[in-house]
């Protein structure tokens, strides 16, 4: 059985110039900070690139937990820990704005009837009863 070339999935390939070592820090109460340290292909630190700090938290909503992931602008773990709280608040506000925008778009969406949904006279079915 042959596969069409256009439906074949691309071969996954890691970029050796974009490798990071990931260290995870948590207080087991509020959230997590992931320290992404750039490394070379041999695992040694790549000092040409900066360390990235990613904050993670969960926002409890009426429909369950909403995961928040956000970058923390910091040059050290100490600075990332001190900036965690304000970064969570900003990520929360951004998530709430996105939710409100999605709700606005959903409420203003236009419903298009299926093809052939309206019969002459404007109402579907033309008012006649059809038995199977």
Give pLDDT tens digits for 31-59: 999 999 999 999 999 999 999 999 999 88
Question: Average pLDDT, whole number, for the chain?
Answer: 85
Model-level pTM greater than 0.75? Answer: no
Res 18: pLDDT: 96
**Domain count across the chain:** 1
- Asked, for residue 131, whether it belongs to a domain, the answer is no
CA angle 22, 58, 87 (to 5 degrees): 70
More confident residue, 109 or 118: 109
- Asked, for residue 22, whether it belongs to a domain, the answer is yes
- Asked, for residue 69, whether it belongs to a domain, the answer is yes
Res 90: pLDDT: 95
- Asked, for residue 82, whether it belongs to a domain, the answer is yes
β-pair partners for 67 = 58
Q: Following CA atoms 76, 78, 81, 87 in sequence, which dihedral angle do they give, to the nearest 10 degrees?
A: -50
- Asked, for residue 84, whether it belongs to a domain, the answer is yes
More confident residue, 121 or 73: 73
Q: Range with the lowest mean pLDDT among 2-16, 39-53, 89-103, 109-123?
A: 109-123
- Asked, for residue 48, whether it belongs to a domain, the answer is yes
- Asked, for residue 70, whether it belongs to a domain, the answer is yes
Q: Decide if pLDDT at 64 tops 90.
A: no
CA distance 95 to 126: 46
Q: Decide if pLDDT at 68 tops 80.
A: yes
Q: Decide if pLDDT at 108 tops 80.
A: no
Q: What is the domain range of residue 21?
A: 16-106
- Asked, for residue 51, whether it belongs to a domain, the answer is yes
């Amino acid at each position: 059985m042959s596969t069409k070339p256009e439906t074949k999935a691309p071969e996954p390939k890691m970029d050796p110039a974009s490798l990071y070592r990931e260290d995870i820090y948590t207080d087991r109460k509020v959230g997590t900070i992931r320290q992404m340290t750039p490394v070379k292909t041999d695992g040694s630190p790549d000092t040409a690139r900066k360390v990235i700090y990613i904050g993670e938290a969960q926002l409890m909503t009426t429909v369950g937990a909403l995961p928040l992931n956000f970058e923390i602008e910091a040059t050290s773990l100490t600075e990332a820990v001190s900036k965690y709280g304000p970064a969570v608040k900003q990520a929360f506000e951004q998530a709430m704005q996105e939710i409100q925008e999605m709700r606005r778009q959903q409420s203003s969406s236009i419903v298009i009837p299926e093809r052939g949904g309206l019969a002459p006279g404007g109402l579907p079915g033309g008012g006649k009863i059809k038995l199977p």
